[in-house]
Amino acid sequence: MNSNSAIGNRQSAIHVVVVGAAGRMGRTLVRYLQSGSVPGLKLSGAIDLWDSPEREKDAGLVAGVAEAGVKIGSDLSAVISAADVVIDFSGHHGTAGNAPRVAEWGKGLVIGTTGLSVEEKTAIEQAARKIPVVLAPNMSLGVNLLFALVQQAAQVLKGKGYDVEIIERHHRKKKDSPSGTALGLGEAAAKGYEWDLKSVAVDGRSGLVGERPAEEIGFHAVRGGDIIGDHTVLFAADGECIELSHRATSRDAFGLGALRAAAWVAGQKPGLYSMKDVLGL
């Protein structure tokens, strides 16, 4: 990456392009960029699908704040030259396609998209060989603290007869299940228990499935209304139950976390990073 850019010297604003600008998280990001909640960041581009009804509208007005002077377009290449960092909250297909292009352009990349396939994650990992990439299923401080607490709890409870179940609740329009955050919590518990998550994960239960085996992590997804995101990890043993939970009451924590990641990634070497790196957890 160019050491003479805003990324390298931090003497000027870090210019940010938001991909998925017309979506729920995109609007939140634009709103916070316009408010200056994370100093040193400036909105320089807004991208969404070519058939978005918000295309060609001012990104600030779409987000419900003052006019930003940046119209929502559909061509990332048209706005990338003025950018230092791309924040991508689009969809799994779009994110995987954007990553190699952003790598060729030499920009920092923050990805909050979930539901990525193995192949799509591979494309992102390859991009991270050339540029710094922050990839996180959830960018709030609270959830990332929860990841750490779940792993720590699992390490303490390992081998002591505590079953692990994960319950997550989201709005009716969420497309992937289990949520990326739920899977991240499952990874944290599995790491603490020294299990391979793919070998022990079960998505819900139906029918005569038999007794629960000792080595199993159950995932249960609830979809309804406008629930932003609730996650609970349950450690259940004979005689007691421990629950570790996080409830999002707005998308603000996610948006602020993504912007903090953008400010942080701008000064990093190529590599694949998580929010633990950004937050120093």
Show which residues are catalytic: 170, 174
Nearest C-alpha neighbor of 170 from the set 161, 160, 180, 158:
180
Which parts of the chain fold into alpha helices (H)? 6-9, 24-35, 59-62, 92-105, 118-127, 141-157, 180-193, 197-200, 252-265, 275-279
Q: CB neighbours (10 Å) of residue 66? A: 12
Q: How many CA atoms lie within 13 A of 230 on its CB side?
A: 13
- Cis peptide before 178, with omega less than 30 degrees from 0? yes
Is 153 in contact with 196 (CB distance < 8 Å)?
A: no
* DSSP secondary structure of 20-73: TTTSHHHHHHHHHHHHTSSTTEEEEEEE--TT-TTTTSBHHHHTTSS--S-BEE
Chain centroid offset of residue 144 CA: 11
Token duo for residue 172: 């009716």
For the chain, give the number of residues.
Answer: 281
- Give the integer Cα–Cα distance in Å for 60 and 213: 52
Q: How far is CA 238 from CA 12, 155, 214, 241, in A?
A: 58, 18, 13, 8
